[in-house]
Amino acid sequence: MHPFRKFIQSYVVVSDSDWEKIEAVLLRKEYLQGEILLREGQYCQKLYFLEDGFLRYFVYKKDGEEATKFFTIAPYCFTSQRSFTSNNPSTENIQALENSIVWEMDQSAAFDLLELKSWSEFIRKLIQEVQFYTEEILLELQNKTAEDRYIKMLTESSIILQKSPLKYVASYLGIAPQSLSRIRKKFYSSRRS
Amino acid sequence: MHPFRKFIQSYVVVSDSDWEKIEAVLLRKEYLQGEILLREGQYCQKLYFLEDGFLRYFVYKKDGEEATKFFTIAPYCFTSQRSFTSNNPSTENIQALENSIVWEMDQSAAFDLLELKSWSEFIRKLIQEVQFYTEEILLELQNKTAEDRYIKMLTESSIILQKSPLKYVASYLGIAPQSLSRIRKKFYSSRRS
C-alpha cells in the first residue's frame, strides 16, 4: 500500500476510487540532509507528506539567530499552514535534517480534493491533531522549566533527541546550548548516583 | 440574524435549510462573572458559541497556582478541544470573566452536522484559525520577552488588557504580577518622557 494511503487510513476510511483521485495529484521528491524545503518569504503552495526523514521548522529572531519551532518525524503531513491557507508569504523555514522522501501536492489540488468526504474528514482530523500538539507545546512552555521539558522529551520524544543536533533541541527549548549541556550533565549524573 | 449564523457566515455560506438544522440543536445559556463553565477532569461534551462575554482558560500548576492559557473574546466558538474530540477528561478549566451569553450544542449533534458541507467547512476553517492563534502564541513564547509580548498585547489585543484582571495577564505572560507591574511602570514612564 502507498505509504500516504496507509497514513490517511490511520485517520479515515479511504475507498479505492477516492485514493485514485488523491494519488493522481501526488509528486515524489527527495531532499538531502540540510536542504531547505521552504524559505521565509516564499509562498508555500504545496501540501507535503513526509514518507521518510526528519525536518525542523525554524524562524530567524531579531538578532539573526535561528529559533527552532518544532520538528516533524516521518510519517507525517506538513506545510507552512498559514501561508498555504491564506496565500501569504511564509514566516518560517523548513529544513530537512536527514535525507528525506516527500510526496507533495499543489494547493489547488488539495483544495479540490475537499469535495471527497474522506479527504475532507482526514484534513479536519489532521489539523485538529496539529492543534493538539501545538497547544501541548504551548502549555509546556507556559508551565514547565526547560529542564522538565527536556526530561519529557527524553521519555516521550526521544527519537528527536537521537536525530537532532543538540543546538536545535536547545533552541526548541528556548535555552542556550550551554544551558542544555548543564541540564544533560545534571540529569545523567543524578541517574548514575 | 442569529448571532451564531452571522458568525458562521463570516467563514462560509450557510443556506437557510442548513441553518435550520444548526439552530435546532442550539441551547442558550447565561453564565455569571466568575462562574466556571468547565472544570478539569470533567468530560467536555459541548461545543459552545460565546455570543457575548469574556472567558479564560486556565490550568493548575504543580504548586496549585493557576496558569492562564488563553482568553476568549466574543463572538467566538470554544470548547475543551481535546476532551471534546477524544472523549478524555478535560485537562483545563474555563471561567467566565464577565457575565456571558453562550449557545451550546451537544457533541453528538456537532458531529452529526458534519454531514452538512457548510458546517464541515466552517469547522475546518475554525480549527485552522485556532491553530494559527495557538502557533502565534507559541512562537511569541519561544522568541519574545514578556515585555515584548505585553507591548504587543497593548497594540493588538488591548481589549484583553481592558477586561482581564492583571493577575491573569501576568500568568498568561508567564510572569509574576510584580514583574508585570514593573513592565507597565517602565512602559508608561518611557511614554511620558
The model's confidence at residue A93, banded by pLDDT at 50, 70 and 90, is very high
Among chain A residues, the shortest Cα distance to B146 is held by A142
What is the DSSP-derived secondary structure letter of residue A116? S
Q: What is the mean pLDDT of residues A172-189?
A: 88
pLDDT at residue B35, as a whole number: 97
Which parts of chain B sit beneath pLDDT 70? 193
Q: Which range among A9-13, A47-51, B74-78, B172-176 shows the weakest confidence by mean pLDDT? A: B172-176
AA identity, residue B31: Y
Let me know: does A28 contact A56? Beta carbons within 8 Å.
no
Question: What is the rounded CA–CA span in Å between residue B184 and residue B5?
Answer: 39
pLDDT at residue B135, as a whole number: 87
Task: Count CB pairs under 8 A between chains A and B.
Answer: 72
Helix axes A177-192, A146-156, angle to 10 degrees: 60
Q: What is the mean pLDDT of residues A114-139?
A: 91
Question: What is the rounded CA–CA span in Å between residue B176 and residue B88?
Answer: 31
Chain centre distance of CA B136: 14
pLDDT at residue B52, as a whole number: 97
Starting from the edge strand earliest in sequence, which strands make up the sheet with B76-78, in order? B27-31, B100-106, B46-52, B76-78
Query: pLDDT tens digits for B146-186?
Result: 899 999 998 888 899 999 999 999 988 888 899 999 999 88
The model's confidence at residue A42, banded by pLDDT at 50, 70 and 90, is very high
pLDDT at residue B130, as a whole number: 92
Q: Taking an 8 Å Cβ-Cβ cutoff, which residues of chain B contact chain A?
A: 59, 61, 67, 69, 81-82, 85, 114, 120-121, 123-124, 127-128, 130-132, 134-135, 137-139, 141-143, 172, 174
Phi/psi of residue B55, each to 5°?
-125, 160
pLDDT at residue B189, as a whole number: 85
Inspect the interface and report whether the beta carbons of B128 and A81 lie closer than 8 Å: yes
Distance between the two ends of chain A, CA-based, in angstroms?
49
Q: Which residues pair with A102 in a beta bridge?
A: A29, A50
Q: How far is CA A27 from CA A102, A105, A120, in A?
A: 8, 6, 20
What pTM, to 2 d.p., does this model score? 0.86
AA identity, residue A4: F
Phi/psi of residue A191, each to 5°?
-75, -30
Residue A7 has pLDDT above 90, yes or no: yes
Among chain B residues, the shortest Cα distance to A171 is held by B142
Q: Which residues pair with A180 in a beta bridge?
A: none
Which domains are present in chain B?
Answer: 3-112 (2.60.120.10)
Q: How far B174 CA lies from chain A's nearest CA (Å)?
A: 6
pLDDT at residue A139, as a whole number: 82
Percent with pLDDT over 90 in chain A: 68
Interface test with B, best of A40, A139, A149 (most B CBs within 10 A): A139
pLDDT at residue A193, as a whole number: 64
Q: With beta carbons under 8 A apart, name residues in chain B contacting A172.
A: 142
From the list A67, A120, A130, which residue is nearest B142 (CB)?
A67
Q: And the C-alpha cell for B141?
A: 513564547
Over chain A, what is the mean pLDDT? 92
Question: What is the rounded CA–CA span in Å between residue A59 and residue B139?
Answer: 9
pLDDT at residue A81, as a whole number: 87
pLDDT at residue B190, as a whole number: 81
Q: And the C-alpha cell for A141?
A: 512552555
